[in-house]
Amino acid sequence: MKKQFIKIVLSCAVIAGGCTVTSCSRKSSSSKNVSRATGWKINAKEGGFQYNTDFKEQETAPGLVFVEGGTFTKGKVQDDVMHDWNNTPTSQHVQSFYMDETEVTNVMYLEYLDYLKSVYPPENPKYANIYKGALPDTLVWRNRLGFNETMTNNYLRHPAYAEYPVVGVNWIQATQFAEWRTDRVNEVMLEREGYLAKNAKYQAATGEVAGTFSTEAYLNRPESVYNGQIDSLQGKKKKDSINTFAKRSSGIIMPEYRLPTETEWEYAAQAQVGSREYNNYRGRKKYPWDGEYTRNGQRVGRGDQLANFKQGKGDYGGIAGWSDDGADITAQVMSYKPNDLGLYDMAGNVAEWVADVYRPIVDDEISDFNYYRGNIYLKTAIGEDGKVNILSDSVVYDTLPTGKIVAVNLPGEIKMVPVGEEETYLRTNFSSSDNRGYRDGDPSSSRFFDRFGNEEGENTKEMYNSPKHKVKRDSLGNLIRQYDHSNNRTTLINNEVRVYKGGSWRDRAYWLDPAQRRYLPQYMATDYIGFRCAMSRVGSKSKSKNKTVRSKKVK
């Protein structure tokens, strides 16, 4: 009996040992450096497939705050005293993303201007309008019956306003700032990881090396970056005489900075995570903070306003010695408490540009996921040699309806062209490059549409009969501005009109509701509209896999 028991125990031990060996074998075969498709080694010294198998998650880029995505009700306004009828509540889902902690400040924008002036000196006729086209419009402060010359002359550059939100920037300038910021941050990342030499970015910025860095050019034709002089700027990753370049698969290159979509901005401003309990939101929020009032109800600071806005006719900040919001024009960023996501000034101070083209209707029948109107699909231009086209030292400019001249591209960037039939043929998800007017402004959605007629040249201005201002040059090169004096125009809406969100120092509390929406032509600027940047998150939805009963509020 005893011998039989010993045999059973030994048999179990052998089976257990076999299971252990098998499990180890399985674990070994599923190693991150062994392909589960072929069994070949990944990142082998002998060569073959190379990939960043140590990637954990996206790093938070400078100035940004993580916003975990989810479902929410977009357009849930509390009041509609303007009777715009441009906000119908719709259920939308937003992917996780990152957003600037504050609005872009004067000092941040001045860094951008300084870079452009150093790299593209306006004294050079080729670059004459690059720096000038990026300058904010400081004349927005002027009022026919107001003395505001102090702000006109000082607001942008004086150090007293360094940490105040930049204003006088139109939508086009804001998007160009975001593109520049993307390249500068990725330069830092590549330098840190050893793909670029230490301080390479300063050599380009000061003119020691001709040309600059473009993220897309680096990814598509790295040998063309810095005007073809990247060999001399290689970092420690360089192997002997062979250049080593980072790729998208390296996990080092950051996604682009950009303007947030209207849906992202509204979701982030509401910050409903603070009222979450398990998988429900408790109550409704009228403002980015809890409660239905604009004043602080806590013991410390009781009665003070929670945002910078116009409190009444002729009242922009209360009385001397007891200011309700501590400001009369804009205020220094971070002057008020952040919302539950850690974002500052999502109500008040300045309104903010978002990416979307304006339409009165949010078409949730077509999209309830990452809703955005404004897609223009482009592709890289390929030359006769089969390589991606890099724009030469010449600069293409565009003259806006206001007469302002802005650079369409900067030297060293990739040439982009609209997608064509090659990409759209027999495709069900899109059929053209420009989708700004899809189902609301394109030829097929207009009452003038003739299915059997010639659609060439038709655009949204048939459905939305908006003004057509023209700017041209005479024989001497002088600008001639021609305003549209027609009495037949019925709307300002077209594909060049963009949404801006949030209240400002000039607005009453009505506009502090995150769901409220307004619009302005993308080439115009004001003294109460600024902007902040966003960045998409790649990879997992959440930073933490642990669920909690309630979200932790930001103090």
3-state SS string for 383-400: CCCCCECECCCCCCEEEC
Who has greater pLDDT, 548 or 88?
A: 88
β-partners of residue 414 are: 390
Work out whether the CA dihedral 58, 102, 106, 127 comes out positive or negative: positive
DSSP H or E stretch at residue 318? strand 318-319
Which among 444, 92, 55 has a CA at the least distance from the CA of 261?
92
β-pairing, 529-530 vs 351-357, is parallel
Question: Would you mind telling me the total number of residues written for the chain in this entry?
Answer: 555
Q: What is the mean pLDDT of residues 174-200?
A: 93
Enter the tokens of residue 30. Answer: 């599923």
Neighbours of 180 (CB within 10 A): 18
33-54, pLDDT tens digit by residue? 999 999 999 999 888 998 999 9
**Cα-flanking dihedrals φ and ψ of residue 346, to 5°?**
-80, -5
Work out whether the CA dihedral 334, 348, 76, 88 comes out positive or negative: negative
Q: What is the mean pLDDT of residues 468-496?
A: 85
Instruction: Work out the percent of the chain whose per-residue pLDDT is above 70.
Output: 89
Domain boundaries defined on the chain: 64-380+501-536
Question: 64-380+501-536 domain in CATH 3.40.50.300?
Answer: no
The span from the CA of 278 to the CA of 549, in Å, is 5
Lowest pLDDT segment from 57-66, 118-127, 432-441, 445-454: 445-454
Contact yes or no for 417/379 (Cβ under 8 A) = yes
DSSP H or E stretch at residue 280? strand 280-281
The mean of the pLDDT values for the chain is 87
The span from the CA of 149 to the CA of 144, in Å, is 11
Kindly report the pTM of this predicted structure.
0.90
Contact yes or no for 507/528 (Cβ under 8 A) = yes
Contact yes or no for 437/445 (Cβ under 8 A) = yes
**Rg of the chain over CA atoms, in angstroms?**
28
Query: For residue 109, what is the DSSP state?
Result: H
Q: Is the per-residue pLDDT at 482 higher than 90?
A: no
The span from the CA of 430 to the CA of 455, in Å, is 18
**Cα-flanking dihedrals φ and ψ of residue 67, to 5°?**
-125, 110
Lowest pLDDT segment from 134-138, 227-231, 235-239: 235-239
β-pairing, 405-407 vs 534-536, is unpaired
- Residue 353 φ/ψ region, left for φ over 0, alpha for ψ in the -120 to 50 degree band, beta for the rest: beta
3-state SS string for 133-144: HHCCCHHHHCEC
Work out whether the CA dihedral 268, 271, 273, 276 comes out positive or negative: negative
Confidence of residue 530 (pLDDT cuts 50, 70, 90): very high
Task: Please name the residue ranges forming H helices in 193-331.
Answer: 200-205, 215-220, 262-270
344-378, pLDDT tens digit by residue? 999 999 999 999 999 999 999 999 999 999 999 99
Lowest pLDDT segment from 75-79, 344-348, 386-390, 455-459: 455-459
Residues 6+ apart with CB under 8 A from 100: 63, 64, 65, 343, 532, 533, 534
Which among 341, 375, 343 has a CA at the least distance from the CA of 356?
375
